[in-house]
Every structure is written in C-alpha cells, then in structure tokens.
C-alpha cells in the first residue's frame, strides 16, 4: 500500500461523506416539509395579530368570491379613512373558512370575522369562543328590526352578530308566462295546490325542484314546518329541543307529499342551476329558492321578467315567518377586548357602512334601516319588503341545525323521501339524539 493510494482513498471517502451530508440534509428537509401541514393544521392557518393596541384590528373574511371580497375591501377602506384604525384583512376561501371554523376559533382567530346567524353562531357563543357585543347593539340596535335582533341573539340572551345583508327564500316565477296563462300568486296552501294542478294540465312542471346537491330540498322542509307548526317549533326542532319522532314532524312530510307530484320528478339528477334554466325557458311554472337565483339570469330580458311571492299560508302564523339567511360579522373572544374591532362592527351596523358594501355587492339586501334603496329594482324592493314585514326570520336548515344533522342526516333522508315519499322519523330522532349528544 502506497501513500498515494491512501491519500486517494481518503479523498474518495471524503467524497462519500459529502454525499451522505447531502442525503442527511435532504432527509431533514423532508421532515421539515412533512411537518409543515401539521403545523399549519395546529394554528388553523391564521396569523397572530397585534390587537393589544386599540388602533389596529384584524378581520377574517370568508367572503372570497370576487364581488363580496371587493365589497368588504371597500368597507374596511372606508372605515380606515373614517376612524384612522388600521384594518388587516385575511381572506380565506369560503368553503375552507366554514370547514375550519372550529380550529380557527380555537387557534388565534382574527378580532372580527364574517359568519352568519343561527345555531352555529349560538353554539360557538355557548362555548365561550365569541365575544358578546351588547354595547355595540346599544349604539346601532335602532337600525335593525325586531326579527333581525332576535336572529342576532345568543342562547344566553346576549347579542353576538351584526347583520350585514340577507336574502329571502320564496317562489320565483316569470311574469310574462303567468300573465299569458292568467295565473295569480296563491295566498294559501290550497290555492297553491289548485294552481299546481292547473299548471300541470297546461303541460308545465308546476314547481321547479333540484336536489342533486342535497341541500335545496331543505328549503321546502323549513317552510312547511314553519307554516304548519310555527316558527318556534321549527327553531326548537332544529336545535333538537323537540323530538323528531312525533306527529308534528310526520305531518310536515305528509303535507309535502301532496306537493311532490307537482315538483320536478327529475330533481335528484339536477342542480339548482339546471332548474334555474328550466324556469327561464318557461318549462316550469315557479321555483322555490333563495333570491340568489336571480344572479343566474344574466340576460336582462329574463332578469326583468322574474317576480316573487312568499310561501303561502298553511296552518298557522300566516306568512309571518320568512326564510332569509343573514350574513354579518362576529367578534372572536379576543376581539372583544379590542375597542377598534367593536367600532368596526358598529360601523357596519349603520346605513352608511352597509351602503358602502351594497354599492359594490348589490345582489343582496342590506339589513340596516335607512340603507339606500334608491337603486333597488322593483323585484329587490319586493324582496326587501318581504323581509322587513316578517315577524320571524329563519336561517335555512343547515344554519339553524347542527351541520352534521343537516349534511349527514337530512340530505339522505330528504333524497329518499323525494324518491319514494317515505321517511322514517324514528330513525331521524335516533340519529339526531346521537349527533347532538356528541356536541
């Protein structure tokens, strides 16, 4: 063995070491990369905020679509200008925002964030994850109707939500078709059935219906339950203070059965967009859906031809209750200590703040009294009147009930009801019992 060989060997093993170092670094890198999703999951993807100073606030927004996003941007800009407070907005894709709300609220949430009224708001309020804003309501409460106030209240009687806008559910139809055939908006359930029979004999699908996605059918259930058993019963049932296994509930389905032959028989294969097209094509007489339906009609001739009537009276409370999901702002527990965040909510609770929002996003209806209605189309005005005239506002089943109840139980139950007209209320109760107990 020569010295030369030895030196070469050392050099080559040196080279080997280098390769190993490389591998090690690579391995460490892999671990770090594998760890990133875990860390992100821990923090819920939110960024820590400096809410200690009263002159800044963070705002978490699930309004990720272009128009609402721009609308909230306009609101924060206007608020910054007015108050000198610096607002940092974190926009999250709205499905993600909704799905991750649990981890979001437990991690380091923003001071203020977008959410909606109903069971889910009351649930997080009950868990102490939200800050009550009674002091803000003292300032802006006069801007809201009694029904909106009720919808913004937690189970403990404190206020939690500042409503921004809402959109009603009801029957939409084409004016020109109705004028041509001489139909009139029904006031009672019997009139509705008579009208349906007439439409059917005229070769139309009386009530357009789509339930491939599972949720649209909940609107029919909500209205029938409210009209048959009253608003309070509907709220108690969705919060599972009432049992599903009782005559009142099976009555709802029995009543619905009378409408089923008039609803589009192909509903289970259709999305609401398909149904919207069918209504526009005058293949069907009317369509029970939220007013977001009108966003589907980009052709102005069709859009101007759409009219609305509220769900007819069935057994009690007339047409007092309306289904009109409310979107607005909440304060996280931490945000409750930040006066600037409270001021921000108060600002959105004024006609001034809501006008700024509505100027950009005009597809919804501002909730504050005195908000600008001069740009409303006749239809929007009608929709707004139907809400302001209502004594009770429900939020749609998936907001009023436990989300698991809505998604995992009601969707399959309603789809099988649409298919064969039967529903097992005993089983609904068994599932509800188990799911609500897990909360």
Partner 1 sequence: MSVSTDLSARGRDAVAAPARRVRRLSSRDKVVLSIMVGIPTLIQLVLVWIPTLMSVGLSFTRWNGLELTDIKPAGVENYQFVSQDYPPFWPAVQHNVLWLVFLALIATPLGLLLAVLLDQNIRGSRIYQSIFFTPVMLSLALIGVIWQLFYNRDSGLLNFLLGTSGTPQAVDWFGDSSVNIWAALFAATWRHAGYVMILYLAGLKGVDPTLREAAQIDGANAVQTFFRVVFPAMRPVNVIIIVITVIESLRAFDIVYVINRGTNGLELISALVVQNLVGEGQVIGVGSALAVILLVISLIPITFYLSRAFGKDKEA
**Sites of contact with partner 1 (CB under 8 A):** 5, 8-9, 11-12, 15, 17, 20, 23-24, 27-28, 30-31, 34, 38, 95, 98-99, 102-103, 106, 127, 129, 212-214, 266-270, 274, 398, 403-404, 406-408, 411-413, 415-416, 419, 424, 427, 430-431, 434-435, 437-439
What is the crossing angle of helices 339-348 and 351-360, to 10°?
A: 70
**Tokens standing for residue 93:** 């894709």
The owner of tokens 């009674």 is 134
Q: How far is the CB of 345 from partner 1 (least distance, A)?
A: 24
The owner of tokens 């139309």 is 204
Whole-angstrom Cα distance, residue 349 to residue 342? 11
Closest CA to 59 of 84, 82, 79: 79
> In the beta sheet, which residues pair with residue 60?
90, 113
Q: Which is nearer to partner 1, 362 or 416 (CB)?
A: 416
Q: Are the C-beta atoms of residues 131 and 335 closer than 8 Å to each other?
A: yes
**Tokens standing for residue 392:** 């009770």
Q: How far is the CB of 85 from partner 1 (least distance, A)?
A: 31
Whole-angstrom Cα distance, residue 267 to residue 415? 9
| Secondary structure class of 222 (helix, strand, coil) | helix
Q: How far is the CB of 123 from partner 1 (least distance, A)?
A: 9
Q: How far is the CB of 196 from partner 1 (least distance, A)?
A: 18
Q: How far is the CB of 398 from partner 1 (least distance, A)?
A: 8
> In the beta sheet, which residues pair with residue 287?
172, 208
Q: Which is nearer to partner 1, 11 or 40 (CB)?
A: 11
Q: Which is nearer to partner 1, 52 or 437 (CB)?
A: 437
Q: How far is the CB of 439 from partner 1 (least distance, A)?
A: 5
Q: Which is nearer to partner 1, 123 or 376 (CB)?
A: 123
The phi and psi torsions of 362 (rounded to 5 degrees) equal -95, 5
Q: Which is nearer to partner 1, 101 or 366 (CB)?
A: 101
Q: Which is nearer to partner 1, 116 or 347 (CB)?
A: 116
The dihedral built from the CA positions of residue 337, 340, 345 and 349, taken in this order, carries a sign that is positive
């Amino acid at each position: 063995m020569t010295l030369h060989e030895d030196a070469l060997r050392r050099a080559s093993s040196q080279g080997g070491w280098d390769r190993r170092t490389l591998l090690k670094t690579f391995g460490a890198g892999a671990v770090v990369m594998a760890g990133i999703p875990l860390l992100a999951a821990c923090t819920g993807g939110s960024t820590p905020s400096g809410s200690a100073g009263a002159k800044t606030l963070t705002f978490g927004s699930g309004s990720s679509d272009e128009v609402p996003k721009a609308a909230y941007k306009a609101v924060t800009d206007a608020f910054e200008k007015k108050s000198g407070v610096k607002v940092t907005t974190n926009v999250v894709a709205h499905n993600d925002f909704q799905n991750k709300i649990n981890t979001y609220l437990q991690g380091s949430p923003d001071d203020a964030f977008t959410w909606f009224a109903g069971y889910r708001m009351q649930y997080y309020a009950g868990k102490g994850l939200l800050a009550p804003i009674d002091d803000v309501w003292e300032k802006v409460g006069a801007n809201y109707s009694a029904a909106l106030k009720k919808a913004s209240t937690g189970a403990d009687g404190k206020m939690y939500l500042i409503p921004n806008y809402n959109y009603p559910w009801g029957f939409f139809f084409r004016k020109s078709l109705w004028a041509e055939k001489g139909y009139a908006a029904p006031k009672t359930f019997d009139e509705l059935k008579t009208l349906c029979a007439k439409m059917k004999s005229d070769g139309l699908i009386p009530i357009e219906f789509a339930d491939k996605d599972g949720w649209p059918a909940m609107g029919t259930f909500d209205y029938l339950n409210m009209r048959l058993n009253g608003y309070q019963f509907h709220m108690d049932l969705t919060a599972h203070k009432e049992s599903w296994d009782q005559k009142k509930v099976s009555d709802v389905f029995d009543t619905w059965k009378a409408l089923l032959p008039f609803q589009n028989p192909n509903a289970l294969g259709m999305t609401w967009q398909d149904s919207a097209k069918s209504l526009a094509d005058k293949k069907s007489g009317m369509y029970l859906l939220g007013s977001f339906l009108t966003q589907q009609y980009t052709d102005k001739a069709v859009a101007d031809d759409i009219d609305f009537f509220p769900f007819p009276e069935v057994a009690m409370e007339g047409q007092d209750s309306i289904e009109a999901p409310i979107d607005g702002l909440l304060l996280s527990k931490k945000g409750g200590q930040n006066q600037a965040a409270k001021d921000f909510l108060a600002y959105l609770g004024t006609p001034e703040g809501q006008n700024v929002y509505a100027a950009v996003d005009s597809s919804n209806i501002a909730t504050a009294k005195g908000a600008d209605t001069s740009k409303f189309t006749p239809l929007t005005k009608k929709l707004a009147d139907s809400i302001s005239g209502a004594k009770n506002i429900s939020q749609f089943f998936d907001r009023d009930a436990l989300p698991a109840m809505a998604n995992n139980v009601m969707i399959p139950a309603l789809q099988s009801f649409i298919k064969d007209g039967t529903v097992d209320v005993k089983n609904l109760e068994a599932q509800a019992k188990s799911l609500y107990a897990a909360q």
